[in-house]
Structure 1
Amino acid sequence: MRTSLSKILPGTLLAATMLVSAVAWSGGPHPGMGPGFGDGRMLMHLADKLELSDTQRGEIRTLVSASRDSGKADFERMREIDKSLRDMRTAFNADEARKLSTELGEISARVAYRMAETNAGVYAVLTPEQQAELDAMAAKRPERGERKGPPPPSSEAE
């Protein structure tokens, strides 16, 4: 049983993360996100692809909204810390940088936990068929850092 779970769990979490991320970004634009994230198009695509019922859409929207609302203060504080650390490039203060970095780690842990909790809740709303479809979609998604699309043209002269 452990072997099966260890093979299935990472893909399941990735699939759920894809859905939760789409739902989370549908709540409004965020800095650095491209078209399709802040306006809900990605969520609508996944909801349509998985053929979510109105009830499922509502349950997922509620889960993600609650997660987003409970994390707003954390994300704002992360922005403040990031700015403070970037501003130290001209006047570095090791003690302050260490303190801010420690706080950032604590916030990141809360965010990761909240995301995992929300992912599990979203996945539980899906039918077994929808879960399988989401898992298949996640399996096709490139790993983080992996090249998307065709390779760049060769620089060698032919």
Structure 2
Amino acid sequence: MDTLKLSELIGQEILELRYHYVPENEYGMQAFHSYIKLSNDKIIDIPHFDREDYLELTQDNLNFFKTMFDTGEPVNEKAKKFFVEQKIVDFYFSYYNNEIDFDHSAFIKLSNGYYLTENNFGPMGLTNIDLIILDEKQFAEEVERLKSVEVEVRSFTKTKI
């Protein structure tokens, strides 16, 4: 079985991003998930774990990602300028007690110095269940905020490649 590796995504260019937002899921929570089309025609999500083997390429999950991308809402033009035609430089993952923190999506560092992430779930009324685009300063502030609650943010390329 083939797998898509995180290291293979480094250097790939983002062509398009679409998303699904559900105002209230079966658990009474808001839900947000984005799907990214890359220059190699692969469709990925924003990862939650740092294993080298990122995605097992079965027909089921390939079809799932394609369907989610094809049925997703396009991102507005203002947001696109931050990531379209930018290359993936690195992934940053969150750790709590030296274990991957699955509650946080990875931060994707782009070639223009911006970071892309998302908040996937939250109770009704929260306004940040969405795609998040951070500049270098905002990313550094978020890393410090997470550190204050004992969450460490680590570079994938510095720890795995």
* TM-score bin (small chain): under 0.3
* Superposition TM-score, scaled by structure 1 size: 0.27
Structure with the higher helix share, 1 or 2: 1
Query: TM-score, normalization: structure 2?
Result: 0.27
Computing the radius of gyration over CA atoms, which structure comes out larger, 1 or 2?
Answer: 1
Greater fraction of residues in strand: 2
Structure scoring higher RCO (CA < 8 A, sep ≥ 6) equals 1
